[in-house]
Homo-oligomer: A and B are copies of this chain.
Amino acid sequence: MSKPGEAGLKALADYLAQDMRACNQVIVARMQSPVALIPQLAAHLVAAGGKRLRPLLTLAAARLCGYDNQDGKLRHVEIAACVEFIHTATLLHDDVVDESQLRRGLASANAIFGNKASVLVGDFLFARAFQILTADASLDVMAILSAASATLAEGEVMQMTTQNDLSTSVDQYLQVIYGKTAALFAAACEAGAVIGEGTPEQREALRVYGANLGMAFQLVDDALDYAADQAVLGKEVGDDFREGKVTLPVLAAYEAGNEEDRVFWRRVIEDSEQTPEDLDAALALIAQTDAIGATLRKAEEYAAKAREALALFPECDIHSLLIETASYSASRER
């Protein structure tokens, strides 16, 4: 399912098509288990596609640092598959936690296989990721990915505690999206740099690139939840609204709104009292207050920082494509 304006990301995936194919093969091979339900459920998510943005970042970072796999191994591919397993595990658990019915435009795994299977297969994929990391034997990569996994869980818990709470500050919101999204983007890039034997400066630059790219990515995701067609987005529009998630579009509209607006927001977000017409009312207030514009401008700030972080690398195809990916990540047409 291609989306308008995916060019930056798609061009990178095309450029690294051979690595991406190898990564898909590792993903399919390593999600096998004698317990048939595990590969069945995992295959449902793999089949649903997704952009595989995070493993792509690992592959690109390794190649940007000059990884040429002359070791006869495909370490960058193995680690990229790990990153995707960790991400998939959190998706499975998120969908249980959020009771989501759709994921990437298809029925979510929990909707088909039930919550139990989704929790347990998530656990399996997480454990399998650490088996692959152990086999790869880089303590640096393990430290990066285990720390990111802990931060991810912290971000999700923090998001839960800010839910329905309009006194959440923008800083707290930014901490939440760092944890739930940007930390793994940062780790995916940094792990690639370690595999590519980048210098400490290159490794740090790629970490910063990934962190800022992840922030931009999540900000746009949060904007699209109030601004996109379901067909384009592949998820239910207004999901965040219905769940009472306190995202930047809501915070910005609440901040810029008058007292009547705020009474509305408190009812629908804090008290979770929503009528079927309330989503349209929320969309109208968000449009009036330019809350989407504010969110996208914030995303562009992060995208700019991501691009700057790569300044120390010499010009090359992957460098340009990563710069382009940062630009597209902050675009509402991504």
Among residues of B, the one whose C-beta sits closest to the C-beta of A93 is B119
Query: Complex formed: what's the CA distance from A156 to B89 in Å?
Result: 16
In the complex this chain forms, how many copies of it are found?
A: 2
Q: A119-B96, A123-B93, A157-B37 are in contact. Are A150 and B134 (CB under 8 A)?
A: no
Per-position binary interface string of chain A over residues 150-184, scored 1 when its CB falls under 8 Å from any chain B CB and 0 otherwise: 10111011101100000000000000000000000
- Chain B residues near A34 (CB, 8 Å)? 154
Interface-facing stretch out of A137-145, A231-239, A285-293: A137-145
Q: Is the CB of B117 within 8 A of A131?
A: no
Among residues of B, the one whose C-beta sits closest to the C-beta of A33 is B154
- Chain B residues near A146 (CB, 8 Å)? 127-128, 130-131, 133-134
Q: A97-B120, A117-B160 are in contact. Are A143 and B150 (CB under 8 A)?
A: no
CB distance from A34 to the nearest CB of B (A): 7
Q: Is the CB of B93 within 8 A of A153?
A: no
Q: Is the CB of B134 within 8 A of A139?
A: yes
Query: Complex formed: what's the CA distance from A147 to B129 in Å?
Result: 10
Asked if A121 is at the interface (CB within 8 A of a chain B CB), the reply is yes
Q: Is the CB of B131 within 8 A of A150?
A: yes
Q: Is the CB of A38 within 8 A of B134?
A: no
- Chain B residues near A154 (CB, 8 Å)? 33-35, 38, 124
Per-position binary interface string of chain A over residues 89-115, scored 1 when its CB falls under 8 Å from any chain B CB and 0 otherwise: 110010011000000000000000001
Asked if A126 is at the interface (CB within 8 A of a chain B CB), the reply is yes
Asked if A267 is at the interface (CB within 8 A of a chain B CB), the reply is no
Contact residue among B115, B124, B147 (Cβ-Cβ distance under 8 Å from A131): B147
Q: Is the CB of B139 within 8 A of A127?
A: no
Q: Is the CB of A134 within 8 A of B143?
A: yes
Query: Complex formed: what's the CA distance from A79 to B89 in Å?
Result: 24
Asked if A149 is at the interface (CB within 8 A of a chain B CB), the reply is yes
- Chain B residues near A152 (CB, 8 Å)? 123, 127
- Chain B residues near A37 (CB, 8 Å)? 157, 160-161
Contact residue among B121, B130, B160 (Cβ-Cβ distance under 8 Å from A142): B130
Interface residues of A (CB under 8 A from B): 33-38, 89-90, 93, 96-97, 115-117, 119-124, 126-128, 130-131, 133-135, 137, 139, 142-143, 146-147, 149-150, 152-154, 156-158, 160-161
Closest 6 CB pairs of A and B: A127-B149, A124-B153, A127-B150, A130-B146, A123-B153, A97-B116
What are 15 A-B interface contacts by the 8 Å CB criterion? Answer: A33-B150, A34-B154, A35-B157, A35-B158, A35-B161, A89-B123, A117-B157, A123-B149, A123-B152, A124-B154, A124-B157, A127-B146, A127-B149, A127-B152, A128-B150
